[in-house]
Structure 1
Amino acid sequence: MSQVTPEVLWAQRSSKTDAEKNFVYLTISVPDVPKENLKLDLKPTSLAFQGHSETLKRTYHLDINFYDEIDVENSNIHHTARNVELKLRKKELKEEYWPRLLKDAAKVQFVKTDFDKWVDEDEQNEVADDDLSQFGGMGGMPGGGMGGMGGMGGMGGDFGGIDFSKLGGMGGGPGSDDEEDEDEDDDMPALEGEEDAKGDAKVDAADAPKADK
């Protein structure tokens, strides 16, 4: 069974005065890895991740050290069928961007710029704040709990202080209620009045005289 390093996309914003505008976007590409097969350990200067995909027969492993410290307690995570997305709050309020994501200056192949989210440093104030709307709309789970996360596959209960109550809104994937609702709409039976109208139309057509040839 193969173990691979997943692709990591990143982008960032910075602010010297507003902590909520001073963060790093991180997307770990791990398709078909269910939440119960995830292990994530987020610390102020590092992130360790492991995930297993039964369908792809593949285990993903990632261990990185950040360029600078992050505020773990004010960082968020969002899991989808294709990836794990994180919004990491930078610890130090600073106008300048981080020069890179990793502490080590050596270039690595698996870390790439997320051009869908990247904004140049001098243009970031002109961009809307909701360019990652799923983080803004991730409400708490019913009762404040995590539902069936089950400790996320043996993470030992140490989530590094990350706010997993904001993991709501993970639906919408294959087999979700949304798809079931759409299927039901497609198969809606005709209304009673419509059926009668169709029946009358068939009778009228049968009784109509055929034109002489």
Structure 2
Amino acid sequence: MSTTATPEVLWAQRSSSVDPEKNFIYLTISVPDVPKESLKLDLKPQGLTFSGHSNTLKRDYHLELEFYAEIDEKESKINHTAKNIELKLHKKELKEEYWPRLLKESKKMHFLKTDFDKWVDEDEQNEAPEEDFSQFGGGMGGDFGGIDFSKLGGGAMPTGDEDDDEGSDDEDMPALEGEEEAEGEAKGEAKKTDA
């Protein structure tokens, strides 16, 4: 006898008050190996119902979602893969603001998670890449989707050995542990060569 489980659901969104193509919800129902024959997906303006059987996990899945606002189910797209069911749900109302949440009810759902691979902050969505997320790696397996964290600091850290004529604010900053001796030696050598 198989038990019915709720699948994990990942979501992200974009919004636009002028372009319907940029006003949508990304929804991923994470259920591996559900053949088309056992997949039932009923999409309505107010929500969706999903049920399916995973052959590898030998488990039935069921999900009912009631959306925060209406979607245009005729414009929405579904991509069924061996790993999951991906949906691109077009929001019916064109608005600049994001939906405050995916579901009508505001209580926390344990199976519902933000899709950080596809999420973009509201004020940065116009710079976001269109539709193609292939530059992001798989999940959060440790490579963090190819993000170079050294570039997130907003520029190079001052090393203390730049010569600038206007006088540098670096002098006011205390040296890091271990750098004090090295900096002192470097300044001592600099004085010898100037003399």
Q: TM-score range by the shorter chain?
A: 0.5 to 0.7
Unaligned runs of 5+ in 1: 134-213
**DSSP 3-state at the match of 1:124:** helix
TM-score, structure 2 as length reference = 0.67
Match of 1:182 in 2: none
- 2-side partners of 1:90 and 1:115: how far apart? 20
Give the conservation status (yes or no) of the 8 Å contact 2:3–2:59: yes
Give the conservation status (yes or no) of the 8 Å contact 2:32–2:56: no
Match of 2:96 in 1: 95
Partner deviation per Cα, 1:58-115 (whole Å, 9 max, x = no partner): 0010001000000011000000001000000000000000000000000110000000
Partner deviation per Cα, 1:159-178 (whole Å, 9 max, x = no partner): xxxxxxxxxxxxxxxxxxxx
More helix by share: 1
Q: CA deviation at 1:38?
A: 0.1
Q: CA deviation at 1:43?
A: 0.1
- 1-side partners of 2:132 and 2:116: how far apart? 12
Unaligned runs of 5+ in 2: 135-195
Partner deviation per Cα, 1:124-167 (whole Å, 9 max, x = no partner): 0011112357xxxxxxxxxxxxxxxxxxxxxxxxxxxxxxxxxx
| Aligned length, in residue pairs | 133
User: Which protein, 1 or 2, shows the higher relative CO under an 8 Å CA cutoff with sep ≥ 6?
Assistant: 1
**DSSP 3-state at the match of 2:117:** coil
Is 1:129 the counterpart of 2:123 in the alignment? no
Q: Which residue identity does 1:62 align to in structure 2?
A: L
Question: Deviation above 2 Å: which 4+ runs of structure 1?
Answer: 130-133
Q: Which residue identity does 1:50 align to in structure 2?
A: S
Q: Which residue identity does 1:114 align to in structure 2?
A: D
Identity %: 71
**DSSP 3-state at the match of 2:98:** coil
TM-score, structure 1 as length reference = 0.61
- 2-side partners of 1:10 and 1:33: how far apart? 20
**DSSP 3-state at the match of 1:68:** coil
Match of 1:81 in 2: 82
Q: CA deviation at 1:30?
A: 0.5
Match of 1:16 in 2: 17
- 2-side partners of 1:90 and 1:104: how far apart? 17
- 2-side partners of 1:130 and 1:62: how far apart? 26
Q: Over aligned residues, Cα RMSD in angstroms?
A: 1.0
- 2-side partners of 1:60 and 1:49: how far apart? 8
Q: CA deviation at 1:26?
A: 0.1
Q: CA deviation at 1:54?
A: 2.4
